[in-house]
């Protein structure tokens, strides 16, 4: 039997964190949550994740700065950046840093 994929979900909204974690766990994945980028970086020092989902707009260090930090640290897990509305400029920045961008609609 293969191991469950381990996801790291980063968002400053507690409802979003709880909803996503629950949905992925019900789908059979292991999900760890972080409510800010600095907490995510701390978790990444101790654990390996198969996929990272991160909000773009967060207080303190935002998702784009986090993505740059992840790449500088050599984190190779795919990163999906989530936002309600993604401006083309933001999508370009995410893609240039090796991430994937998803939103409910384009601005």
- Residues 6-63: pLDDT tens digits? 999 999 999 989 999 999 999 999 999 999 999 999 999 999 999 999 988 889 998 8
* pTM over 0.85, yes/no: no
Q: Does the residue 96 lie in any domain? A: yes
Residue 76: give the domain boundaries: 6-106
Number of domains within the chain: 1
CATH number, domain of 48, equals 3.40.50.2300
Provide the token pair at 68: 């740059």
Q: Does the residue 65 lie in any domain? A: yes
Which pLDDT band holds residue 85 (cuts at 50, 70, 90)?
low
Q: Does the residue 54 lie in any domain? A: yes
DSSP notation for 70-106: HHHTT--S-EEEEEEEE-HHHHHHHHHTT-EEEEEEE
Q: Does the residue 1 lie in any domain? A: no
């Amino acid at each position: 039997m293969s191991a469950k994929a381990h996801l790291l979900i980063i968002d400053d909204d507690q409802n979003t964190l709880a909803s996503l974690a629950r949905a992925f766990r019900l789908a059979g994945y292991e999900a760890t949550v972080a409510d800010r980028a600095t907490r995510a970086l701390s978790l990444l020092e101790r654990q390996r994740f198969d996929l990272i989902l991160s909000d773009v707009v967060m207080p303190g260090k935002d998702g784009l700065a986090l993505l740059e930090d992840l790449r500088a640290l050599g984190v190779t897990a795919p990163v999906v950046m989530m936002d309600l509305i993604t401006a083309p400029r933001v999508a370009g920045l995410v893609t240039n840093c090796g991430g994937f961008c998803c939103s409910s609609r384009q601005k």
